[in-house]
A and B are shown apart, each in its own frame.
Chain A
């Protein structure tokens, strides 16, 4: 009933996240790692990602704002950020990162700045969605155990 409904909603949201391209295979890998020893593993990893990536975002921002722009440093930071995003399977985010790196290697400041806005947008959207998702997961778990 309630439990089933909640669980269904969770499953539904999860599916849409994949269908809409927000998440990819890596996320499933995380889910598979979750076990009794780490029952909230996925959530912990996502939280860790968002915490850590905040400083990377800041670094990129600063580099973009500096004049002249140090493209090689920019590329380094973005490389790190992309690697980190790939850890949770944030597909849209990593796709934008790839575009960014192309502009970066072309030393196209304008393109970099624009693309970075996209990166941040996707990054934020995903966070919100995942927050909702995990909340639902928790609720379903509580209902389940109830």
Chain B
């Protein structure tokens, strides 16, 4: 059983042909048979006979495979354990195989997350259809993220409902947008959202607090060593089950990996790095403007993806490699407060991912709600809570060091109003900033964050982001708000007021962010404004100095922003608004 390299990208054009399958079985006879069968299905096959070897292959090449098929009984590692690892680290669909068809075994497989359980002897026709699992997962990913965000947003604010009504668009994915809307509607009902997409009964609602606990546990354990059982034990939530944690963790990873991807994309753009955030974490290539640029396209759709990721991404290493990241935990950005989890959709995806920062993470502190506008996919991730950071976890992200991270007005308990300017705009990003407990302050800062991070757009994978952000702490409420404005912008800034709001918010946020750092507010706003107003700025050219649209630099606008929201710059957040960052941000804020 040699291991044949199958590192290539899937051939989307002739899907499912070219599907990259990794087969793991200690029986050489079966391995050969399966290989032949899969080849006959026109799949790209890689075989290995040891579980450890399989994990190495998978880790080596995160995106090298689409699906894993593994036998249950293996000498070096239990097949279920491998299943768990794959699910957690790579979030790939896994099919289990065994000659034993006992119900209990099958159930165990499903419990551990197997998307199918085949009995040996396996027929070729059973293998022909495995692509459906890959496809299904892709669809659900988006949905889950959205739903997660939805949940978050509910916590965040209720007022965000209008936003949803506007039909934030989820760029690119109709499904997601539909879901989002659905979620939004649900949210409005102010009821505990059960993830509609999951259609599971008695779904766990991952509140901000719960998510925060989760994130804390994950950080404690160490991202690499994380496992549902360990997390569950640490979290000490009696009614929570291992399965709940496992699935949540999956989403979290997904989220992080999305962020990572976003940041990767952003890096490629590097167009936007204006200010070369020296002050920023070196990691983040703030130049991730790509998201911003992309946004343009999306903007028209009303979906803006805050490329906040860029900045974040840099710091964050976005998850793509969760294992690697461990260090991310320190996302300076918002303390676990309600970081904005901007889910920046994979650049690969049609860029229409919006990042919806729904929750204004209750406590603004952490909430860097960056609406990462991944231009491509405005995945509405409710970044609502960027839980402290989730970014941290994965990627340093939110290190708002760039100043953004904490955008949501530090400490402001302003409720993040999810009012993202959206009212009119189809804020796709839907950051439904759930108003948090925070007081009325609406930190609309969201877009600002983008700037800060210059491109810290952390594309927190929606999934993860959602968790992350679920505004865990009430303090984060701010976060969500920030993004809202952005969304409006996409809607083409049509409503001047909207955009203004946004701008003002941004400015407001800016101000707050600066916490007196003295960052020229105007510059920020300009950036922001430019982005928004201009439509072409969609890409939140944070930091794109070229914004022509300076229309909104009207300080007056800013003044309108209730600064109270930001109360004394609470830069409690460690990472929040680091003055130094601000300047950096300044440069790139919307650049």
Q: A residues near B, CB below 8 A? A: 25-26, 29-30, 32-33, 35, 38, 41, 44-45, 48-49, 52-53, 76, 79-80, 82-84, 86-89
Contacts and interface: CB of A to CB of B under 8 A. Distances in A.
Interface string B13-42: 000000000000011111011001100100
Given A30-B33, A86-B120, A87-B30, A79 B40 contact: no
B29 A33 contact: no
A84 B121 contact: no
Q: Which of B98, B100, B121, B124 has the most CB of A within 10 A?
A: B121
A45 to B, nearest CB: 6
Contact of B33 (A25, A33, A35, A79): A33
B123 interface: yes
16 contacts: A29-B123, A29-B124, A35-B40, A41-B36, A45-B32, A45-B33, A48-B28, A79-B73, A79-B100, A80-B26, A83-B27, A83-B30, A83-B120, A84-B30, A86-B120, A89-B121
A79 to B, nearest CB: 6
B73 A76 contact: yes
Contacts of B30: 83-84, 87
Task: Sort chain B's interface into a size bin.
Answer: 10 to 19
B40 A84 contact: no
A80 to B, nearest CB: 7
B237 interface: no
A33 B35 CA distance: 10
B99 interface: yes
A87 B27 contact: yes
Contacts of A87: 27, 29-30, 33, 120-121
Q: Which of B30, B37, B40 has the most CB of A within 10 A?
A: B30
A38 B36 contact: yes
Contact of B29 (A38, A49, A79): A49
A26 B29 contact: no
A26 B33 CA distance: 11
Nearest to B28: A52
3 closest Cβ pairs, A-B complex: A83-B99, A26-B121, A87-B29
A141 B208 CA distance: 71
Contacts of B40: 33, 35
B99 A33 contact: no
Q: Which of B26, B29, B120, B124 has the most CB of A within 10 A?
A: B29
Contacts of A41: 36
Given A25-B121, A29-B121, A32-B124, A80 B73 contact: yes
Given A25-B121, A52-B29, A86 B99 contact: yes
Contacts of B29: 45, 48-49, 52-53, 84, 87-88
Nearest to A24: B121
A33 B36 contact: yes
Contacts of B99: 79, 82-83, 86
Contacts of B37: 29, 33
B34 to A, nearest CB: 9
Interface in B36-73: 36-37, 40, 71, 73
Interface string B114-125: 000000110110
Nearest to B74: A80
Interface in B70-113: 71, 73, 98-100
Nearest to A27: B121
A54 to B, nearest CB: 12
Contacts of B26: 80
B32 A48 contact: yes
A52 to B, nearest CB: 5
Contact of A84 (B27, B36, B100): B27
Interface in B356-377: none
B574 to A, nearest CB: 52
A33 B124 contact: yes
Contacts of B100: 79
Contacts of B32: 44-45, 48
A88 B30 CA distance: 9
A50 to B, nearest CB: 9
B28 to A, nearest CB: 5
Contacts of A76: 73
A47 to B, nearest CB: 10
Nearest to B26: A80
B104 to A, nearest CB: 13
A89 B121 CA distance: 8
Contacts of B73: 76, 79-80, 83
B27 to A, nearest CB: 5
Contacts of A30: 33
Interface string B441-453: 0000000000000
B38 to A, nearest CB: 11
Nearest to B37: A33
Contacts of B36: 33, 38, 41
